[in-house]
Structure 1
Amino acid sequence: MSPAHVLEPTYASIKQKLLDGAWPPGSRLESVRIADLVGVSMTPVRDSLNRLVGERLVDLRPGFGFHVPRLCTFDLRELLELNLVLVRLAMKRMGHAEQTEIPSGSVDLALRSRAVFSYIAAAARNEALTDAIESLNDRLHPFRRIEAEVLRDAKQEVADLEAMLINSPSRQTAVAMRRYHQRRISAAPRLVAMLQQAHPTRS
């Protein structure tokens, strides 16, 4: 196992690159090339990739190595359905969050969406629930990066959710949250196709 002072930044760097779409779905993650890219030896890279396998952000295929997951329409729909179940549960448990606003501070849709769900999870004050929602935040992040190209009012939809949550969640918020997820479940085939066709930003 790599020492923490090497492993943690290596893990964080690789994870961020995955979330940013540095490698396309299905592509092989070669430890040697990533080690050169990050500027470390192969050991912390392999340790990091194994950790990301546990988080389901990387696939490990015996005999074929590490790969970026290639989600199909069914997979994406399942993730969205699970996210809705967990978020609805969290909203029922929400207390008066200490924050007076959702700490997004970003015009990036994926980051703003993450902030909305992180806010709900934190306000539920249940560590296991928070961990599950944050894991889904990571796995859904690549699709949130492109969803505005499929759902043209996606940014306004997230802004409306922010406003509802800040002004105290209500039945209207629950209805809006269900609509948010149902629209993306319906758009899943287009989101998956667009992600497969997207040209990733390499660094």
Structure 2
Amino acid sequence: MPIPERQGVIPRALLRENAFRTIRDAIVDGTLAPGERLNDAELAQWLGVSRTPVREALARLEEAGLVQTKPGRYTMVTPLDIQAARAAQSVTAAMHELAVRQSVPNLSPEEIETMRAANRRFAEALHTGDVDAAIASDDEFHCVTVTASANSAISSVLEQFTPILRRLERLRFSSLNARDSVALHDRIIDFCAAGDAERAALAARDNWLSLDPLFDVECPDDPPAQ
């Protein structure tokens, strides 16, 4: 059988998406710190790709508010910005409210149990101070209703704005009240299980608006002097 000409070649779109997600995740988890300079050649070497997908990824990250660029001078990880985080919070809360309202009629008992299991893992991670596990289980919890809503626009908006909040959550993890966070999740689950879409949606909104303690921190808004 003739060997396909493109066998083993990774599509450019996939390279671009992988570069975007890897750099984004490194910014969110603090591997690339606020204010850190970014060099596309170094990033390309780190990712094992050419500079083109890296540059395209950085352009998307700039649109998402995670990277700042001064043409001909620097590209850097955006410093933490409380105003931007508050804006992301309001948008994220609204999207999760909508996702829950649309998803409740479609949720199966298995999906409700997936939410309960994720919340148990979330509670344990908060108790032990495991930031990575807490955020992963929180993402899993909310992913159930976002997926069940079958609304691609919600997913697209959350893809852009959630990382801004996650950066702050990782740095201010100790500010979260574990008991309150778990209880808010339980309220969402109970209303979902009861088929009460409106109260479940409002509980989801309240859950994201409860992150206010995260904003009680001084954050530099301007890039370092050149």
State the TM-score, normalized to the length of structure 1: 0.74
Give identity over the alignment, percent.
21
CA drift at 1:22: 0.9
User: Over aligned residue pairs, what C-alpha RMSD do you find?
Assistant: 3.2
| Alignment check: 8 A CA contact 1:19 1:141 kept | yes
Relative distance call for 1:80 and 1:7 in structure 2 (3 A) is closer
Report if aligned partners of 1:157, 1:180 keep a CA contact under 8 Å in 2.
Answer: no
Could you report, residue by residue, the CA deviation over 1:101-156 in whole angstroms, capped at 9, with x for unpaired residues? Answer: 24857751212222233322222222112211232223322123344311231653
Change in 2 beyond 3 A, CA 1:46/1:158 = farther
What's the CA shift for 1:68?
Answer: 1.3
Aligned in 2, Cα 1:167/1:146: closer, same or farther, shift over 3 Å?
farther
**TM alignment of 1:56-71, pairs within 5 A:** 56-71=65-80
Q: Is 1:135 the equivalent of 2:137? A: no
**C-alpha distance in 1 between matches for 2:85 and 2:199:** 25
Given that 1:118 and 1:134 are in contact with CA atoms closer than 8 Å, whether structure 2 keeps it comes out as no
Number of the residue aligned with 1:201: none
Q: In structure 2, do the counterparts of structure 1 residues 148 and 55 end up closer, same or farther at CA, with 3 Å as the change threshold? A: closer
Q: Which residue of 1 aligns with 2:182?
A: 156
AA of the residue aligned to 1:164: D
Contact kept, 8 Å, 1:117 with 1:137, in 2: the verdict is: no
Q: Helix, strand or coil for the counterpart of 2:106?
A: coil
SS of the residue 1:28 aligns to: coil
Cα separation, 2, equivalents of 1:97 and 1:152: 28
Change (3 A) 1:73 1:139: closer
Which runs of no fewer than 5 residues in structure 2 stay unpaired? 1-10, 126-132, 222-226
Give the aligned residue type for 1:71: L
Matches within 5 A, 1:86-125: 86-94=95-103, 95-97=105-107, 100=111, 101-102=114-115, 107=125, 108-125=133-150
Paired residue total = 193
> Contact conserved, 2:188 with 2:203, CA < 8 A, in 1?
no
For residues 61 and 106 of structure 2, the distance between their equivalents in structure 1, rounded to whole angstroms, comes to 33
Letter in structure 1 aligned against 2:101: K
1:188 Cα offset (Å): 0.9
Whether 1:167 and 2:176 are equivalent positions in the alignment is no
1:189 is aligned to: 216
Distance (Å, rounded) in 2 between the aligned partners of 1:97 and 1:162:
13
* CA contact 2:93–2:206 (8 Å) conserved in 1: no
CA contact (8 A) 2:19 2:57 kept: yes
